[in-house]
């Protein structure tokens, strides 16, 4: 049976631009327009526009403690200042990652939770099942989301929407009027470049898309470029690098786990810390332009010791780069490994993240 794909409000725009469309997380999404590398390069040097309307958004209103919300995630919700956001995890009882997400503190008693598209229904059910009070709603269908990313994105935003945007620091957001309606503008993104995520009522998102593309500094970019951009700076992709079988400890993401508070999965993580992980995430660079791929084997001295979870050709480094998992005792930076798949074999070296260090993401 053919998969019934959901479509974002901007789907007809993508087809009018002759985008290559493909399924992603149950959605019909643009993979590329003029080409993945061209769109990647534009984002690294100008301003790229991404349709991210497929992401899930939930709204919670109520007391964070008495409702149980404070114990749902690996970070404290109540300690997030109003107007700021925080990244972390929703875990299962075994410490596996149900999803990675960002919580936006909208008011004293209100937050917006932004989750991945493919996991949104599961996330909503898991969070709702842990709450004992408060008002929890799924606002995904009513919410459009565009990401403007790249070193020139601030200039574009300021010219269109005013100087208030210029002073936004990283992981801070404001609520403002855009196209006559209330929108959230957040200084966040998934590319390693200076950029903004704009949440706007879905009936206005096509108008905002068209407005951005009137600026010659802005070009549309698809999920192909987005994947290369995020991997060059070492960001994890849910469903590839992290999933319900992977804990934050294995994935090298312990920094986003607050062990000083209660959360589902904490006991399992504490036991794993004591015992030690059986596998750990590594980053590696290939000695050549070939791209390692998801599920390729990682070998040391002829023995398979792990597998690749993400890999691409990096235009910024001019070589293949990837992320994978291997035995912790073999994970030292500088170690030589071999990436294998059927007749494909490539030599690589374990390295530190990020691969590309020249992004503008933290620009003042």
pLDDT (tens digit per residue) in 148-195: 999 999 999 999 999 999 999 999 999 999 999 999 999 999 999 999
Looking at the fold, whether 176 and 39 belong to one and the same domain comes out as yes
3-state SS, residue 211 = helix
Q: Kindly state whether residue 14 falls inside one of the protein's structural domains.
A: yes
Which of helix, strand or coil describes residue 51?
strand
Same domain for 47 and 66, yes or no, is no
Q: What is the pTM of this model?
A: 0.96
% of the chain with per-residue pLDDT over 90: 98
Same domain, 127 and 198: no
How much is the average pLDDT of 280-296?
Answer: 96
Residue 47 is assigned to a structural domain of this protein: yes
Q: Which of 80, 107, 138 is the last residue of a domain?
A: 138
**What is the per-residue burial (b if ≥16 Cβ within 10 Å, else e) of 167-204?**
ebeeeebeeeebeeeebbbbbbbbbbbbbbbbbbbbeb
Predicted pLDDT at 351: 98
What is the average pLDDT across 16-34? 96
Is the same domain home to 190 and 47? yes
Longest distance between any two alpha carbons in the chain, whole Å: 63
Task: Inform me whether the pLDDT recorded for 2 exceeds 90.
Answer: no
> Is 216 within a domain?
yes
Task: Report the distance separating Cα 340 and Cα 135, nearest Å.
Answer: 50
Same domain, 24 and 73: no
282 and 342, same domain (yes or no): yes
Residue 135 to residue 61: CA distance in whole angstroms: 5
Answer whether residue 119 is part of any domain.
yes
* Residue 228 in domain: yes
Residues 63 and 95 in one domain: yes
Q: Is the pLDDT of residue 146 over 90?
A: yes
Residue pLDDT, tens place only, 191-212 = 999 999 999 999 999 999 999 9
CB neighbour list of residue 289: distance below 8 Å, 6 or more residues apart: 313, 318, 319, 320
Do residues 30 and 68 both lie within one domain? Answer: no
For residue 126, give the nearest of 71, 65, 63, 66 by alpha carbon.
Answer: 71
Whether residues 224 and 75 share a domain: the answer is no
Does residue 237 sit within a domain? no
Within a domain: residue 344? yes
Count of structural domains, the chain: 3
In a domain, 208, yes or no: yes
User: Are residues 70 and 29 part of one domain?
Assistant: no
- Is the model's pLDDT at 132 over the cut of 90? yes
| Phi, psi (deg, nearest 5) at residue 323 | -125, 145
Average pLDDT, the chain: 97
Cα–Cα distance, 213 to 341 (Å, whole number): 41
Residue 1 has pLDDT above 50, yes or no: no
Residue 352 token pair: 């530190």
The residue among 226, 219, 84, 57 whose CA lies nearest residue 144 is 57
Q: What is the CATH number of the domain that holds 299?
A: 2.40.30.110
Which residues are within 8 A (CB) of 296 and not within 5 positions of it... i.e. 6 or more apart? 307, 308, 311, 339, 340, 341, 344
Q: Do residues 60 and 133 lie in contact, with contact meaning Cβ atoms separated by under 8 Å? A: no
pLDDT-derived band at 363 (thresholds 50, 70, 90) equals confident
pLDDT tier, 10 (very low <50, low <70, confident <90, very high otherwise): very high
* Spatial CB neighbours of 108, under 8 Å, sequence gap ≥ 6: 82
State residue 333 phi and psi, 5-degree precision.
-60, 140
| DSSP single-letter state for residue 81 | P
Distance CA 69, CA 301 (A): 48
Judgement on whether residues 37 and 102 belong to the same structural domain of the protein: no
Cα separation of 92 and 347, whole Å? 36
Among 116, 138, 160, give the residue marking a domain's end: 138
CATH of the domain at 219: 3.30.1360.120
Average pLDDT over residues 99-128: 98
What's the CATH code of the domain at 106?
A: 3.30.70.1400
Q: What is the mean pLDDT of residues 142-149?
A: 98
Share of the chain above pLDDT 70, in %: 99
Domain interval for residue 40: 6-52+141-232
Where among 138, 173, 204 does a domain terminate? 138
Position 364 confidence tier, pLDDT thresholds 50, 70, 90: confident
Q: Can you give the pLDDT at residue 153? A: 98
Strand order in the sheet with 20-24: 6-7, 27-32, 20-24
Of 57, 195, 67, which is closest to residue 119 (Cα–Cα)? 57
pLDDT tens across 59-110, in order? 999 999 999 999 999 999 999 999 999 999 999 999 999 999 999 999 999 9
148 and 41 fall within a common domain: yes
CB half-sphere exposure, 184, CA atoms < 13 A: 24
């Amino acid at each position: 049976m053919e998969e019934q794909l959901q479509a974002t409000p901007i789907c007809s725009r993508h087809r009018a631009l002759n985008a290559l469309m493909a399924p992603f997380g149950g959605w019909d999404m643009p993979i590329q327009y003029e080409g993945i590398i061209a769109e990647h390069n534009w984002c690294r040097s100008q301003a790229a526009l991404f349709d991210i309307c497929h992401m899930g958004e939930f709204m919670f209103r109520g007391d964070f403690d008495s409702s149980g919300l404070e114990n749902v995630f690996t970070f404290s919700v109540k300690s997030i200042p109003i107007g700021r956001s925080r990244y972390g995890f929703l875990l299962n009882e075994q410490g596996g990652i149900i999803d990675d997400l960002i919580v936006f503190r909208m008011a004293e008693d209100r937050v917006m939770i932004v989750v991945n598209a493919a996991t949104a229904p599961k996330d909503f059910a898991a969070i709702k099942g842990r709450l004992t009070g408060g008002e929890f709603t799924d606002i995904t269908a009513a919410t459009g989301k565009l990401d403007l990313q790249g070193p020139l994105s601030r200039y574009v935003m300021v010219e269109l929407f005013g100087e208030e945007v210029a002073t936004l620091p990283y992981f801070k957001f404001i609520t403002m009027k855009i196209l006559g309606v209330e929108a959230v503008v957040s200084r966040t993104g998934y590319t390693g470049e200076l950029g903004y995520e704009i949440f706007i009522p879905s009936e206005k998102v096509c108008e905002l898309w068209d407005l951005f593309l009137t600026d010659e500094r802005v070009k549309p970019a698809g999920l192909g470029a987005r994947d290369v951009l995020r991997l060059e700076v070492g960001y994890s992709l849910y469903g590839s690098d992290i999933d319900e079988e992977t804990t934050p400890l294995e994935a090298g993401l312990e920094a986003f786990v607050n062990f000083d508070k209660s959360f589902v999965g904490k006991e399992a993580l504490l036991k794993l810390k004591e015992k030690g992980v059986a596998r750990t995430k590594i980053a590696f660079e290939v000695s050549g332009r070939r791209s390692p791929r998801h599920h390729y084997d990682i070998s040391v001295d002829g023995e398979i010791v792990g597998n690749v979870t993400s890999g691409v050709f990096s235009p910024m480094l001019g070589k293949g780069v990837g992320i994978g998992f291997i035995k912790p005792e073999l994970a030292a930076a500088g170690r030589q490994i071999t990436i294998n798949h059927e007749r494909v074999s490539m030599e690589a070296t374990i390295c530190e993240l990020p691969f590309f260090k020249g992004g503008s993401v933290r620009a003042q």
